[in-house]
Amino acid sequence: MYHIVAQPSCDNCGGITSFGMTLVYLECQRNSYIRPMDTLFEGENQIISIIVIAISLLFVMGVAIVLFFYFSRRKIIKTELEKATMEIEHQKEVLRSTIITQEEERARIAQDMHDAISSKLNIVSLNANFLLEEGITSDEANKMGDSILKVTTTVLESSRRIAHDLLPPTLQKFGLEAALEELCEEVYDSKKFELEYDISYEENFVSSNHELHIFRIVQELMNNSIKHSEASQITLILKTKENILSLQYRDNGKGFNIEDTQKAKGLGMSGIENRAVILQGDLEIASSPGNGIAVTIEINNEL
């Protein structure tokens, strides 16, 4: 380190003394050390500020992520609960429809047995008791015997028909397509209807229980056309393609007001609706007075 010492030019010229020059130099040296230290402190303060800001941002981002996952999970749980609730409601509806359909089936069977069997067996019983009476002539006995034979023959036919309705043997042995074709041929052979049908069913496309429900739907629709609609033309189309079973039924009968639910229930529509629910199918019924009825059912066998 060098010291510059100024020599005074004279004692009275007011020049700077060597001591003063030394002080100035030392002051400059002090300032030269202070400035880098201040700069260093300022740099450290900036780094600390940046670190604090970064930590704050990370904290905010962490809170945001936690809240995002919390609300997302809450939404997912809510959706799953809604889905589970809908599934439970659907199962309840299927169970309710199954019970209603079974009760309607039992009522129909009981009515058929009463009308076709019980009443005629009463006639057989009366005639048989008459034969036991004394003084009956041979002609009367023969006449009673013929009456009993006719009634028992009718009862046997009725019992076969009821058994056929309960579980069609053709459906059980040969499947849905054969059973529907047999049903259509029976209606056609009556010569009372113009019947067109196109049935193309892939074997085992749905379960045997579901095949029975489909058969019952077609059977109920045809019974309505025969007994109630005063129709002369019936069209039945049933096809399977990919995963969809499509059933279309139409007649040109007198039709009814679709909004008249009581009448619809009387025409067996409730049974058809309940079976469609059991099949998890989409059912559409279109009818109006004078325009017959059109029924469409689509079933996805993947559901």
Check residue 282 and give its pLDDT. Answer: 94
What whole-number distance in Å separates Cα of residue 163 and Cα of residue 275?
20
Structural domain includes residue 203: yes
Q: Read off the CATH number of the domain in which 294 is found.
A: 3.30.565.10
What whole-number distance in Å separates Cα of residue 125 and Cα of residue 141?
14
Pick left, alpha or beta for residue 242 (phi over 0 → left; psi -120 to 50 → alpha; otherwise beta). left
Structural domain includes residue 89: no
Q: What is the pLDDT of residues 165-175, one digit of tens each?
A: 777 888 888 99
197 DSSP 8-state letter: E
Structural domain includes residue 134: no
What whole-number distance in Å separates Cα of residue 74 and Cα of residue 257?
47
Task: Give 178-234 as a DSSP string.
Answer: HHHHHHHHHHHHTTSSEEEEEEE--TTSS-HHHHHHHHHHHHHHHHHIIIII--SEE
193 DSSP 8-state letter: S
Check residue 84 and give its pLDDT. Answer: 85
Check residue 102 and give its pLDDT. Answer: 73
Structural domain includes residue 79: no
Structural domain includes residue 70: no
pTM of the model: 0.60
Q: How far apart are the first and last CA of the chain?
A: 97
pLDDT in tens, the chain (303 residues): 444 444 444 444 444 456 666 766 666 665 655 555 556 556 667 788 888 888 989 999 988 998 888 888 888 888 888 888 888 887 777 777 777 777 777 777 777 777 778 878 888 888 788 777 777 788 888 888 888 888 888 888 888 777 777 778 888 889 999 999 999 998 888 888 899 999 999 988 999 889 999 999 999 999 889 888 889 999 999 999 989 999 999 999 998 887 765 555 555 677 888 888 889 899 999 998 989 999 999 999 876
Check residue 109 and give its pLDDT. Answer: 77
What whole-number distance in Å separates Cα of residue 232 and Cα of residue 195?
8
Structural domain includes residue 228: yes
Structural domain includes residue 115: no
Q: What's the number of domains the chain is made of? A: 1
Angle at 273 (CA atoms; ends 271, 278), nearest 5 degrees: 95
Structural domain includes residue 140: no
What are the residues facing 245 on neighbouring strands?
240, 299
217 is in which domain, residue-wise?
Answer: 168-303
What whole-number distance in Å separates Cα of residue 173 and Cα of residue 168?
9
What whole-number distance in Å separates Cα of residue 227 and Cα of residue 219?
12
Angle at 283 (CA atoms; ends 279, 288), nearest 5 degrees: 150
Check residue 277 and give its pLDDT. Answer: 87
Check residue 197 and give its pLDDT. Answer: 95
